[in-house]
Chain A
Amino acid sequence: MSNLHDLLAYEVVAGINGGLFSAEEYVNSILKRIEDVESKLHSFITLDSEGALSAAKKIDRKIKEKEDTGELAGITVGIKDNISTKNIRTTCASKILEDYVPSYDATVIKHLKKNGAIILGKLNLDEFGMGSTTEYSRYQPTHNPWNLDYVPGGSSGGSGAAVAARECTVSLGSDTGGSIRCPASFCSVVGLKPTYGRVSRYGLISYANSLEQIGPICRSVRDLVMMVNIISGKDEMDNTSIPSSPITLNNKLGKLNVAIIKELITGSDHEVSRTIYSASEKFKEIGCTCDEISIKNLHYALPSYYTLASAEASSNLARYDNIRYGFDLPVEEYKWDTYFSKVRENFGEEVKRRILIGSYVLSSGYYSKYYLKARRLRSLLRLELLTLFKKYDLLIGPTMPIPPFKFGEKIDDPIKMYLVDINTVIANLAGIPAISLPVGFSNGLPIGLQIMAAPFEEQKLIDASYDLENSINIQRRTNAI
């Protein structure tokens, strides 16, 4: 048998339930793997080895007593550190929450635990999810397991890197403008941003409520299906959640109408475009039609996204006043406003920039010029996409316009950094599901294909991804670590 830490989620569940190895042995192999590679990667902010081992022993006891262990029995899940975990510190990679220990579990965490999954620890991100590289984490950046000199993508960079490096079986990320799909693409793993409403956001520490969703990052489409079915569902604690049908894993892809989004290809790096065209040929080989189409409102999408996301961030982050959440800074000797401004010095530069932009676009005189127009664009874009989905089952393009880049390349120019998200924000603005699937490499650095579908049509995304995954048969293991 290969190293236990190399196993995919469904193999782990089968192995533990079939008595091939115990949950404790499996968790120990994962902890050993972390010990070996974590000093090079920095995927984790908090590792809960003790909690993970104790959960594993509980599963082993259940198996011995022939009790139900759950569909995810024994798999280890890394959690992005902006998802609340009871009794495990949840920092959002921010100084402002460095001591915050939630008193409750997010709904997704409850679902995972109920189904036998083991919460392994909390993974690195750009502070509050604002960034595309993890360089904005207030701890330290995570490194790309395919080449340690390069960024892993973000903001869920820890979630992408840890799965690719086999430091955990699967992970959860959150996606506000591409934060699951970007690291999935840069780390050569599969990442899904579900339809807005499929997964409860209760316990996800908000950055831009109307855009964000929690989703899984995995090393195979089969693992992804297991995860998404467990975390989906209507939740009375999140009124935007909607009931949805479970996804199945089908062996045969029906004849689908696929369209490549021209603007996403023309704006991309040459090697990226070439790899995406070659993946689109696979669709034709399996009997799908593949047209090339244009989206009229596309060039307004990114400015609209940054307007809305910053506006929502400035409102959401107003709660960090050091009274309800925070660190040691006595309130005596301070006046009301000066205390809050002093405390909020502790936000990082990118968070401050976005709060300031948010305050700007919401202030009188600019509200209708920016904020209302951005909302109007959002509606137009969604309507345009819904019309396209009457004709096409899937829209495809590169997840990222460029392959992973080196640390420091874009950090001093916020616009350069924002442009990295140009292909992914579409799905968040429109509330539609989108997946990133590994389809190739450029000079040893991963390239991901983005597939989008109509709201709640995740089944079509999975059917197409499963088929492509089998036919492309990409290199799965990185030799860089």
Chain B
Amino acid sequence: MISKEELEYLAQISKINLNENESRKFPKQLDKTIEYIDILEELASDDSVILDLQEMKIEELRDDVVRMSGGKQISKNITEDGFLRGPKMK
């Protein structure tokens, strides 16, 4: 069973506040989901299985050319000086 502390830790690393209802409901629901995916443990840990079937070669990537957005305002949080406004660092 996911403990209250574990749920709080997951919420903290995910940067999500949970409301009272969610804090009460989620441990049981997440538990059921984890129990469901536990079946994956049955799979052999065979390292010979290739994980990525589609490989991309570096030369297939397009050139890294900067394209300007035309100077349009794309976010209302952009200040007049062109900076993004963010909250204070701790």
Query: Using a CB–CB distance below 8 Å, which chain A residues touch chain B?
Result: 103, 236, 239-240, 299-300, 303-304, 306-307, 314, 318, 322-326, 331-332, 334-342, 344-345, 347, 349, 352-353, 355-361, 363, 368-370, 372-377, 379-380, 382, 413-415, 418, 431
At the interface, yes or no: B13 with Cβ under 8 Å from chain A? yes
The contact sample of 28 A-B pairs, CB cut-off 8 A, is A236-B62, A239-B61, A240-B56, A300-B40, A303-B39, A306-B37, A323-B75, A324-B77, A325-B75, A331-B87, A335-B89, A336-B89, A341-B12, A341-B15, A344-B14, A344-B17, A347-B16, A353-B29, A355-B14, A356-B30, A357-B30, A357-B33, A359-B14, A373-B40, A373-B45, A414-B29, A418-B33, A418-B36
* Interface of A, helix, strand, loop or mixed by DSSP: helix
B37 A337 Cβ-Cβ under 8 A = no
Chain A residue with the shortest CB-CB distance to B69? A103
> Given the complex of chains A and B, what is the CA–CA distance between A323 and B38 in angstroms?
37
Kindly provide the distance from the CB of B50 to the nearest chain A CB, expressed in whole angstroms.
6
Contact of A337 among B15, B18, B25, B77 (CB under 8 A): B15
A415 B32 Cβ-Cβ under 8 A = yes
Contacts of A103 in B (CB 8 A): 69, 72, 74
A379 B49 Cβ-Cβ under 8 A = yes
A415 B62 Cβ-Cβ under 8 A = no
* Interface of B, helix, strand, loop or mixed by DSSP: loop
Kindly provide the distance from the CB of A466 to the nearest chain B CB, expressed in whole angstroms.
30
> Given the complex of chains A and B, what is the CA–CA distance between A334 and B90 in angstroms?
9
Highest count of chain A CB atoms <10 Å: which of B16, B41, B45, B84: B16
Contacts of B51 in A (CB 8 A): 372, 375-376, 379
Given contacts A336-B89, A373-B43, A415-B36, contact A323 B16 (CB under 8 A): no
A353 B26 Cβ-Cβ under 8 A = yes
Contacts of A306 in B (CB 8 A): 33, 36-37
> Given the complex of chains A and B, what is the CA–CA distance between A353 and B22 in angstroms?
9
Kindly provide the distance from the CB of A330 to the nearest chain B CB, expressed in whole angstroms.
9
Contacts of B60 in A (CB 8 A): 239
B87 A359 Cβ-Cβ under 8 A = no
> Given the complex of chains A and B, what is the CA–CA distance between A300 and B17 in angstroms?
32
Kindly provide the distance from the CB of A204 to the nearest chain B CB, expressed in whole angstroms.
18
> Given the complex of chains A and B, what is the CA–CA distance between A128 and B11 in angstroms?
19
Kindly provide the distance from the CB of B36 to the nearest chain A CB, expressed in whole angstroms.
6
Contact of A339 among B10, B11, B18, B87 (CB under 8 A): B87
A360 B11 Cβ-Cβ under 8 A = no
Contacts of A361 in B (CB 8 A): 37
Highest count of chain A CB atoms <10 Å: which of B26, B54, B77, B87: B87
At the interface, yes or no: B1 with Cβ under 8 Å from chain A? no
18 new A-B contacts at CB < 8 Å, known A307-B37, A337-B90, A377-B40: A103-B69, A236-B62, A303-B38, A304-B40, A307-B40, A323-B86, A335-B87, A335-B88, A336-B86, A338-B87, A339-B87, A341-B17, A357-B33, A363-B10, A370-B37, A375-B51, A377-B43, A418-B33
Query: Using a CB–CB distance below 8 Å, which chain B residues touch chain A?
Result: 7, 10-19, 22, 25-26, 29-30, 32-34, 36-43, 45-46, 49-51, 53-54, 56, 60-62, 69, 72, 74-75, 77, 84-90
Highest count of chain B CB atoms <10 Å: which of A307, A368, A413: A307
Kindly provide the distance from the CB of A314 to the nearest chain B CB, expressed in whole angstroms.
6
Contacts of B54 in A (CB 8 A): 240, 431
Contact of A336 among B62, B72, B85, B87 (CB under 8 A): B87
Contacts of B11 in A (CB 8 A): 341, 356
A370 B40 Cβ-Cβ under 8 A = yes
B19 A345 Cβ-Cβ under 8 A = yes
Those 9 A-B pairs whose CB atoms lie nearest each other, nearest first: A339-B87, A303-B37, A373-B40, A334-B87, A345-B17, A331-B87, A340-B15, A341-B17, A359-B14
Kindly provide the distance from the CB of B58 to the nearest chain A CB, expressed in whole angstroms.
11
> Given the complex of chains A and B, what is the CA–CA distance between A376 and B20 in angstroms?
37
Contacts of B43 in A (CB 8 A): 300, 373, 376-377, 380
B10 A356 Cβ-Cβ under 8 A = yes
> Given the complex of chains A and B, what is the CA–CA distance between A72 and B71 in angstroms?
33
Highest count of chain B CB atoms <10 Å: which of A303, A342, A344, A380: A303
Kindly provide the distance from the CB of B1 to the nearest chain A CB, expressed in whole angstroms.
13
Given contacts A353-B26, A380-B49, A414-B32, contact A300 B39 (CB under 8 A): yes
Given contacts A344-B16, A347-B16, contact A376 B49 (CB under 8 A): yes
Contact of A382 among B16, B53, B88 (CB under 8 A): B53
> Given the complex of chains A and B, what is the CA–CA distance between A347 and B49 in angstroms?
37
> Given the complex of chains A and B, what is the CA–CA distance between A334 and B86 in angstroms?
9
Contacts of A339 in B (CB 8 A): 87
A336 B88 Cβ-Cβ under 8 A = yes
Kindly provide the distance from the CB of B3 to the nearest chain A CB, expressed in whole angstroms.
13
A359 B86 Cβ-Cβ under 8 A = no
> Given the complex of chains A and B, what is the CA–CA distance between A300 and B36 in angstroms?
10
B30 A353 Cβ-Cβ under 8 A = yes
Contacts of A335 in B (CB 8 A): 87-90
B29 A331 Cβ-Cβ under 8 A = no
> Given the complex of chains A and B, what is the CA–CA distance between A426 and B77 in angstroms?
42
> Given the complex of chains A and B, what is the CA–CA distance between A240 and B87 in angstroms?
36
A352 B16 Cβ-Cβ under 8 A = yes
B50 A352 Cβ-Cβ under 8 A = no
Chain A residue with the shortest CB-CB distance to B56? A239
